[in-house]
Amino acid sequence: MAAFLSVLGTIGVIAMVLWRVLRALHMASDLAKTAHTVAKVSRQMKPKPKMPAQSPAQINNPQEAAALLMLLVARAGNVSKKTITRAQTDSILNQISQHFEFDQAMAESLLIHVAGLGDQLNSAAKVDAAMQSSSHLIGSAVSPKELIELEDMLMQVAHAKGNPNAAQKELLNQFALRVGI
């Protein structure tokens, strides 16, 4: 009888050890699945680099739109719509660096990019459409305080080479009306 109980006890201990080993394997499998899922999700959530807009109508970044507005204000009333003075360029770069917290290289890159977009605006209707879409994008994406800051940025660009001309004043008024400030 004692031998029977001893064999039964040994079988019970072996069964318990096997059960614990199986539970540990099951937990390890679940942990591996969870780690794989987390790695997959983090790859999916990794921000994808945005392609810069290829035309003014494709702009979907408020900073890009604001830089385009600054360029349009600088070019307004110039005999050659594609050129701006060094003072205006420096003013735009300063505004971008200061308010967007870009370094000088990023600010210059953004200005070069929007200058290329601005070169596509070869008629008053296209300039007006770019003003309208940029103003709408900015007005819906930023706070009222930031709209006022942007208006101040545009004013500083307009004053970069002296007093603003009539065309610059008109663009500033259009912006203020379109965003509601």
Provide the pLDDT for residue 4. Answer: 78
Whether residues 42 and 107 fall in one domain: no
Question: Is residue 86 located within the same domain as residue 130?
Answer: yes
Domain identity same for 6 and 27: yes
pLDDT at 70: 92
pLDDT tens over the chain, length 181 residues = 888 788 888 888 898 988 998 898 888 888 888 877 776 665 554 444 455 667 777 788 889 999 999 999 998 877 666 678 899 999 999 999 988 888 899 989 888 888 888 888 777 888 888 888 888 888 888 888 988 999 999 999 999 888 988 988 998 898 888 888 7
**Whole domain around residue 7: which residue ranges?**
1-48
Q: Are residues 62 and 20 in the same domain?
A: no
Whether residues 85 and 171 fall in one domain: yes
Question: How many C-beta atoms surround the C-beta of residue 147 within 10 A?
Answer: 19
Same domain, 12 and 78: no
Q: Indicate the residue among 48, 67, 84 that finishes a domain.
A: 48
Domain count, the chain: 2
Q: What is the CATH number of the domain that holds 110?
A: 1.10.3680
Residue 13 three-state SS: helix
Residues 72 and 149 in one domain: yes
Does residue 74 share a domain with residue 21? no
In this structure, the answer to whether residues 76 and 145 fall within a common structural domain is: yes
- Assess whether 78 and 17 both reside in one domain: no
Question: CA-based diameter of the chain, in Å?
Answer: 113
**Cα within 13 Å of Cα(140), Cβ side:** 7
